[in-house]
């Protein structure tokens, strides 16, 4: 069993509340729920959302 990474409107709201300005997700590996609302929230709250082809793993 494995969990798929998910980003949605609540993620962006949590980032806003925590003062996070940038979210980086792995392209084609992360599920984005409510993409229209996510885009609107990112614009409204000045949170940048970036999809990167590969995310380096620590270690």
Q: Which pair of tokens denotes residue 48? A: 């940048």
> Strand, coil or helix: what is 24?
strand
- Our count of domains for the chain comes to 1
State phi, psi for 19 to the nearest 5 degrees. Answer: 80, 20
Position 23 in a domain: yes
What value, to the nearest 5°, has the Cα angle with vertex 47 and ends 19 and 34? Answer: 120
Q: Is residue 31 included in any domain, yes or no?
A: yes
Whether 59 is covered by a domain: the verdict is no
Q: Is the pTM of this model over 0.85?
A: no
Tell me the residue range of the domain where 15 lies.
6-52
Count CB atoms within 10 A of the CB of residue 12: 23
Tokens 């992360």 identify what position?
A: 30
pLDDT digits (tens, 9 = 90+) for 12-43: 999 999 999 999 999 999 999 999 999 999 99
């Amino acid at each position: 069993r494995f969990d798929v990474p998910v980003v949605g409107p609540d993620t962006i709201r949590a980032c806003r509340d925590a003062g996070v300005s940038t979210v980086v997700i792995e392209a084609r590996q992360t599920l984005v729920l409510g993409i229209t609302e996510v885009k609107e929230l990112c614009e409204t709250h000045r949170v940048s959302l970036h999809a990167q082809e590969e995310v380096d793993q620590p270690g």
